[in-house]
Structure 1
Amino acid sequence: MKALVNAPGTDEFVRLTDVHEPTAGPHDALIRVHASSLNRGELRLLATRPAGWRPGQDIAGVVEKAAEDGSGPSVGTRVVALADDSGWAELVAVDTDRIAVLDDRVSFGDAATLPIAGTTALRTLRLGGSLLGKRVLVTGAAGGVGRYQVQLAALQGARVTAVASDKHEKVLLKLGAAEVVSSPAAAEGTFDLITESVGGESLSEAIGRVAPHGLIVVFGLSSGKATPFAFRDFAPGHENARIQIFMSYASGPDFGADLKVLSDLVADGSLTAQVGLEVPWTELATAAQSLSARGVDGKAVLQIV
């Protein structure tokens, strides 16, 4: 079968080549991949992982071989799944706990945006508890995770303030944001929950906007900048607020259950997948460059053909 493998030091940086078919464990289903989405974290890993490493976590496709232990979906079932890696390939083996059956109303391209971005959005918001009537601030709201956070928080009854540039205001308001501001400091009042993915000045400003007993969930550092802060930054007005670090890979099991929740919301129209670019996997380099340069308005998706 064919797969994209890491090729550091080359102009392509990945290479489409023939590889052995994956060996599925007893609890794994073998999936024929139809679509996979790109994550900036995966692109950064390409620079540090050895030649031959096979990236790809977000996949959607059809079960080619069911798990030997009887768990998971049967052959021919449309699915969305979160792989550990090796998803930019024609076939991938995935633990059935990380697989969800996909409704026929959801395209493979839309489904492929859910595994990392969707589950990160869902799980970071859960850390804030019940959001009904609460104020939520989402930094990096124009990104793949941020767009899902805006929608999911609004669906739960929160009043959402999105932090993004003016050019994204119209789409974020349509997705459920009550307002769009240029920075946390530009937002009015304080917030019960802040999701923070930028770091640097953005996180410093977020501390100034968190409500007493509120929560800042930090899940990224897109600015690449450190954030110095001190105990006194939390008083007065932010007493007993918390900062919590979120790492997707350490956020618990049952990714399959969360993928089912998300894909069903897409199926009934409650949640909109934000696909900004969809290209054949032979054009990965173009898609990666656009994503790295923030030239993709939403998620970039590869068609595995």
Structure 2
Amino acid sequence: MKAILPGTPGDTVKPVVLGEAPEPEPAAHEAVVAVEAFSVNRGETFQLDGGLDRRWAGWRPGKDVAGTVIRAAADGSGPASGTRVVAHPPAYGWAERVAVATTDLAELPDTVDAVTAAALPLAGITALRLLRTAGPLPGRRVLITGASGGVGHYVTELAAASGAAVTAVTATAERGAKLLELGAAELVTSVEDAAGPYDVVLESVGGASLPAALAKLSPGGLLVWFGQASREPVTLNFFDFFKGANQARIAHFDYTTSDAAYGQDLAALVRLVAGGRLHPEIGVIRGWARTADAIADLRGRRVRGNAVLTVG
């Protein structure tokens, strides 16, 4: 079958190539999905760069897919053949077909198309689990950095809908314009311009952004560190932290550490989209032969929201 294969690490021109890969060999609890669309995540671009471990020999990218089940799981779990689904496999999804555990997929109604669904998994699941980590939000002030990506759009809309006053930090006002439509109370282009204090800070940039955001916490506030988009190390002076807001806290977040399977969160995201309460922001839609171009746009921060590729 055809699949997107990793290129040479560090190759900025051809980080991936379209080639041939073996057909998936599903375990008993896995369904085989014919992929119609997939999205590209920044973490996958780091893996392609060689900046993150590729984790296993033969690794191929692909964590966010939407398509149709063409082979139901042998153990009888999950949807029947012919069912439209969105799925979050650990890898291998940038291909014509992929095997996915039935606990990590959700059925799609006719009202949610494959392109929209493909933008949901990693960014949407991360947003849901981030907000659960943050706790109840009605009436609270929330600051989110790096807000123009897929996670930032979902967090902003969901947090604002729950009653939070959200301040979004983006590199430019143009990249953040949609966030105001989704309910952000304020948009700034640097953490320093944010008028704290904030009850919750969701930090995804790293580098100088984290200590600057930490200084904006209110007493008893919580900073959740969930990314390092700048790829710059963080230097934190804990003496400054101790002199800051009383009883403030820092928590490191990884969406994969939850014991819950992804399927339940995917089903929740699908319900929100189908009900008109969540609006994925898709900045790029291309045929999968142009996956390398989409990766270049993500690296150059030219994509607002998600980048989705269609297969076939």
TM-score by length of 2: 0.93
Q: What's the counterpart of residue 97 of structure 2? A: 91
Provide the C-alpha distance between the structure 2 equivalents of 1:231 and 1:21, rounded to a whole number of angstroms. Answer: 52
Q: What's the counterpart of residue 162 of structure 2? A: 156
Provide the C-alpha distance between the structure 2 equivalents of 1:67 and 1:202, rounded to a whole number of angstroms. Answer: 45
Aligned length: 305
Q: Structure 1, residues 192-251: CA drift from partner, whole Å, max 9, x if none?
A: 111100112211111111122211111111122222223332345511111111122223
Q: What's the counterpart of residue 41 of structure 1? A: 43
Local SS of the residue matching 2:200: strand
Q: Which residue identity lines up with residue 175 of structure 2 in the other structure?
A: H
Among residues 65, 78, 84, which one is paired with 2:84 in the alignment?
A: 78
Provide the C-alpha distance between the structure 2 equivalents of 1:52 and 1:175, rounded to a whole number of angstroms. Answer: 40
Indicate conservation of the 8 Å contact 1:8/1:51, yes or no. Answer: no
Say if 1:17 and 1:227 are closer, same or farther in 2 by CA, change over 3 A: closer
Indicate conservation of the 8 Å contact 2:208/2:235, yes or no. Answer: no
Instruction: Tell me if 1:277 matches 2:284.
Output: yes
Q: What's the counterpart of residue 122 of structure 2? A: 116
Say if 1:303 and 1:222 are closer, same or farther in 2 by CA, change over 3 A: same
- The equivalences for 1:5-84 within 5 A come to 5-8=5-8, 12-48=14-50, 49=54, 52-84=58-90
Instruction: Tell me if 1:191 matches 2:179.
Output: no
Q: Which residue identity lines up with residue 154 of structure 1 in the other structure?
A: A
Q: What's the counterpart of residue 293 of structure 1? A: 300
How far did residue 124 of structure 1 move?
0.9
Instruction: Tell me if 1:103 matches 2:73.
Output: no
**Mean CA deviation greater in 160-169 or 72-81:** 160-169
- The equivalences for 1:135-146 within 5 A come to 135-146=141-152
Provide the C-alpha distance between the structure 2 equivalents of 1:292 and 1:230, rounded to a whole number of angstroms. Answer: 30
Q: Structure 1, residues 269-297: CA drift from partner, whole Å, max 9, x if none?
A: 11111111111111111111111111112
Provide the C-alpha distance between the structure 2 equivalents of 1:281 and 1:274, rounded to a whole number of angstroms. Answer: 19
Gaps of 5+ in 1: none
Instruction: Tell me if 1:4 matches 2:4.
Output: yes
How far did residue 169 of structure 1 move?
4.1
Provide the C-alpha distance between the structure 2 equivalents of 1:46 and 1:202, rounded to a whole number of angstroms. Answer: 25
How far did residue 51 of structure 1 move?
8.4
Q: What's the counterpart of residue 133 of structure 1? A: 139
Q: Structure 1, residues 35-57: CA drift from partner, whole Å, max 9, x if none?
A: 00001110111132488531110
Indicate conservation of the 8 Å contact 1:185/1:208, yes or no. Answer: no
Q: Structure 1, residues 18-75: CA drift from partner, whole Å, max 9, x if none?
A: 2221111111111111000001110111132488531110000111111111111111
CA RMSD of aligned residues (A): 1.7
How far did residue 105 of structure 1 move?
1.0
Q: What's the counterpart of residue 210 of structure 1? A: 217
Provide the C-alpha distance between the structure 2 equivalents of 1:95 and 1:225, rounded to a whole number of angstroms. Answer: 35
Local SS of the residue matching 1:180: strand
**Mean CA deviation greater in 146-155 or 180-189:** 180-189
Instruction: Tell me if 1:303 matches 2:305.
Output: no
Instruction: Tell me if 1:233 matches 2:207.
Output: no
